Structure 1
Amino acid sequence: MSCSSSPAKGLPKDVEALVNNHPCYNEEAHHHYARIHVAVAPACNIQCNYCNRKYDCSNESRPGVTSERVSPEEAIKKVLHVGAAIPQLSVVGIAGPGDALANPKATFETFGYLNRYAPDLKLCISTNGLALIDHIDALKAHNVHHVTVTINSVDESGEIGAKIYPWIYHDHKRYRGVEAAQLLLKRQLEGIKACAEAGILVKANSVLIPHINDKHLGEVAKVLRDLGVFLHNVMPLISKKEYGTKFGLEGIPSASSKALMKAQEACGTDMKLMKHCRQCRADAVGLINQDRKDEFGKESFNALSIEELANAYDITKRQETHAKIETWRRALKGANARLEAQKIPSLLVAVTSAGQGLINQHFGAANEFLIYEVDSKGVRFSHHRKVETQYCHGPSACGNNPMDEIAKTLEDIDLIVTAKIGPCPKASLERYRIQISEEYAHEPIEASLLKAAKAFVPFAEEKVG
């Protein structure tokens, strides 16, 4: 695979084992393995202008949002229940809805349960980093090998950070403005360095905020590289008034796909990038692109005891499933072995996929597109693009045509490769000078894109719009 967030050749065996089936740390793995976030951490020790923690919310997909909070005992029940139903589950993360380390009692009690009842799962936390340096020994003791730190600025003056964080709360004191930003950065850098020295893999998240830190993220990447961060994830700001965030209410726009690609280009010269992030909710369940949280509410497991759920959590069966996945991944790598790439134009290609590394989704069912760059050097995953409304919602939605919005989202795309598409959306997209290919349904993505690129003949006219 040529994806920038797939593990590089020559990784130490212990590190390779930590990332091989981790869907966040390995782009290739996210097609096959599932994760779960347990929302045991409601409190937060900083305020971000892009964040509004919402509870009892099922219709928004972004960090800080959850339909229900759980206790540590409920969390282990949920994990065992999900792990029995979804044997591809490989990772448990605590990502809020506040900050994992602002709730250390609940966080580490949950990890204690997980070490006892689900020792085959990888354990993760997401944190803003303010309290990270205080918990390195506890993380090691609880077998937490993956830590994600959100770090949006390395500006020592604190001026950029002061525009992002109204306040932080540390050591029984609230700090504001530049003083808050400087203290937060100091402790973030200390915590990240200590994690790297302790053998804990660090993934750094940076929110791309237009007009605030968009031109600064290249500097962030350089500092992260020097600290030994394993992976850098540049996430576009999600900003709408209805989300109730300060940036949304002030009219700071969401970051565009073009801005994201530009920031990734600036950061990618210094850091290995994660490009497949979906900015998951605090209660996400399943494959990264197929959230199944609604299937696993408390009512589905709370009547059962931990022991009953542990009996159903069949580790041997789960190991057999993972072995089959690895066999499939090896076969897929063989099928995706690089074809001769002569005379291939430089293209931006959108793919519809339901997982497994295949082109196996109907255009009408897609609420996101995987975006790849294809040229004579091969195939590289770039990012994903969501659409507000998928083309087909069934007969009841007929007449509500979202094609203009979809075409706008894909306006710079040269080619869409999909399992199937109807004549009406196909004609609409061709009017926008976007070509369509249905020739590679249920085939491996990378090999198919090289073949499709070889056969590509550009339209003579300019795109409309």
Structure 2
Amino acid sequence: MSATLIPISGLQVASRKDMGAALAKGGGCSAGSCGSSQGPADMDPETWAKVKDHPCYSEEAHHYFARMHVAVAPACNIQCNYCNRKYDCANESRPGVVSERLTPEQAARKVLAVAASVPQLSVLGIAGPGDAAYDWRRTRATFELVAKDLPDIKLCLSSNGLALPDHVDEIVAMNIDHVTITINAIDPEIGQHIYPWIFHDGKRRSGIEAATILRDRQLQSLEMLHERGVLVKVNSVLIPGLNDDHLIEVNKAVKARGAFLHNIMPLISDPAHGTHFGLTGQRGPTGAELKKVQDACAGGANLMRHCRQCRADAVGLLGEDRGQDFTLDKLPEEIGDATEARSAYRDWVAEERRDRAAATAEAEAAVAETAKPALFAVCTRGSGRINLHFGKATEFQIYEADARGIRFVGHRRADNYCLGGHGDTARMDEILRVLGDVPYLLCSKIGDGPRKRLAEAGIEAIDGLAQDYIETAIAAVLHSKQTARPGLSAERA
């Protein structure tokens, strides 16, 4: 326990730690930083009830609960320069990509199979691979089938907003209380460079006209949904040199219209994906550039920083995708009842949340005297703990600690360093680039070779806090630095 390094009392985590480790091995869960099971002090109980188990709408919930997307809506009514919808593709992790297109009946059967196998499942989303509101007939049929057999699951959809105003009444009637709208610009001069065309009122439109119609329909959708009590998350793709500065204005506009969250996410721009931006050399932002824009929006709409830009058929916790485990050919003939396992899991989460909140509060009190902000890269496979070998990490969760506390600020992707038991030099080079501004890395274990490479780049790798809560481990590291204690690895190895 990290209490040997810094006093963090009354945790009693042994049994829950064991459960968390077991869950992590099978897809996992992890704890967050958002308060108790009663919800944050600044959130009303009705809203907390909607978001507490939704991994996209609550940073805390994303450590505990899983989402599932079903690819039932292939039709789309706009073209985005960053999008290329692909089918039968298992190797790309980005929106618009799927391995199977499903009928509503196939999707409903698949959801029941996943719920029986993944007790963390709390949300069913439809995010394409086209547009869920434009392909409304399939979206509605899928939700109706699932709600009949799995009434405890939350329903949500994602849309570009163009067709959304036509379906707001049905959305409310079906108890879909989470909707995501992608709004990349409110200035049509900028929007015309993101959207080559839209299809609206039976006609294809382009240029300023298209960007204006799309903008107006998006903001109308946001206002209509907010007025009816639906929580709206706005997604914005950060495109360097095009809308990076403008996203501050987007943030202000969506806050004024009632957006619950604003998710500013990086452009994925790889020529291999075949998108217009990828093929024309438009680069995506660095992690530091993304954080700079997000920080500049402080005080506006609440920011989501834990988005993983999921595929349209993603299954599992954010940061993992078990979709290939649940293709139609792998579903069992008989699907068991998931009720007992799902109930037991929620009981465990409630207890873990209370414990996590107490541990985080004491850890944050311990770093209150921290002189300047410090970034930490964390290797974790779940349970909110340091429980992943450096060589197996495909993403690093980034935390910031300062006098205001310890908080999650984002994640950064990189291919795992170890391949077949051996390190890959090119992959290490990319990891060093991705973590260039991060002085500390927390992991459950790391070899001497990569530890040395990281140290040469100014990154201290610490593997002596395995299985500790993330916040508790960060507090222990900062405490050791303030008291000039030796490195933690030798103490805890």
TM-score range, shorter chain: over 0.9
1:347 has 2:374 as partner? yes
> 3-state DSSP class of the match of 1:164?
coil
How far does the alpha carbon of each residue in 1:281-336 deviate from its partner, in whole angstroms, 9 at most, with x for none?
000000111211110001022x73xxx53xx1322331221111221121122222
> 3-state DSSP class of the match of 1:144?
coil
Say if 2:418 and 2:424, in contact at 8 Å, map to a contact too: no
| Alpha-carbon offset, residue 439 of structure 1 | 2.3
Aligned to 2:301: 271
Give the distance between the partners of 1:433 and 1:399, measured in 2 at CA: 20
Give the distance between the partners of 1:349 and 1:120, measured in 2 at CA: 36
- In structure 2, relative to structure 1, the CA distance for the partners of 1:393 and 1:376 (3 Å cut) is same
Give the distance between the partners of 1:23 and 1:179, measured in 2 at CA: 36
Give the distance between the partners of 1:429 and 1:340, measured in 2 at CA: 27
Say if 2:179 and 2:231, in contact at 8 Å, map to a contact too: yes
**Larger RCO, structure (CA 8 Å, separation 6 or more):** 2
Moved over 3 A (4+): 1-4, 397-401
> 3-state DSSP class of the match of 1:212?
coil
> 3-state DSSP class of the match of 2:284?
coil
1:54 has 2:80 as partner? no
Aligned to 1:420: 445
Say if 1:3 and 1:381, in contact at 8 Å, map to a contact too: no
Uncovered stretches (5+) of structure 1, i.e. residues with no partner: 459-465
Give the distance between the partners of 1:399 and 1:346, measured in 2 at CA: 31
Q: Percent identity?
A: 48
1:23 corresponds to which of 43, 55, 58 = 55
1:13-92 alignment, distance < 5 Å? 13-92=45-124
Aligned to 2:392: 365
How far does the alpha carbon of each residue in 1:72-116 deviate from its partner, in whole angstroms, 9 at most, with x for none?
000000000000000110000000101001111100000100110
How far does the alpha carbon of each residue in 1:380-437 deviate from its partner, in whole angstroms, 9 at most, with x for none?
21110000x2111223x55655211111111111111111111111011111111121
Aligned to 1:137: 169
RMSD over aligned Cα atoms: 1.7
Aligned to 1:194: 224
Aligned to 2:474: 449
Give the distance between the partners of 1:380 and 1:87, measured in 2 at CA: 27
1:375-454 alignment, distance < 5 Å? 375-387=402-414, 389-395=415-421, 402-454=427-479
Aligned to 1:330: 354
Report the TM-score when normalising by structure 1: 0.93
Amino acid at match of 2:349: I
How far does the alpha carbon of each residue in 1:18-77 deviate from its partner, in whole angstroms, 9 at most, with x for none?
100100011111111111000000010000000000000111100000111111000000
> 3-state DSSP class of the match of 1:425?
helix
Give the distance between the partners of 1:343 and 1:32, measured in 2 at CA: 30
Give the distance between the partners of 2:481 and 2:66, measured in 1 at CA: 35
> 3-state DSSP class of the match of 1:56?
coil
Say if 1:50 and 1:246, in contact at 8 Å, map to a contact too: yes
Say if 1:203 and 1:231, in contact at 8 Å, map to a contact too: yes
Give the distance between the partners of 2:65 and 2:141, measured in 1 at CA: 25
Say if 1:415 and 1:434, in contact at 8 Å, map to a contact too: yes
Aligned to 1:461: none
Give the distance between the partners of 1:141 and 1:315, measured in 2 at CA: 25
Amino acid at match of 1:346: P
Say if 1:32 and 1:88, in contact at 8 Å, map to a contact too: yes
Amino acid at match of 1:379: I
Aligned to 1:318: 342
Say if 2:68 and 2:316, in contact at 8 Å, map to a contact too: yes
Give the distance between the partners of 1:414 and 1:343, measured in 2 at CA: 19
Say if 1:208 and 1:237, in contact at 8 Å, map to a contact too: yes
> 3-state DSSP class of the match of 1:384?
strand
Aligned to 1:462: none
1:109-124 alignment, distance < 5 Å? 109-124=141-156
1:126 has 2:158 as partner? yes
Give the distance between the partners of 2:432 and 2:43, measured in 1 at CA: 40
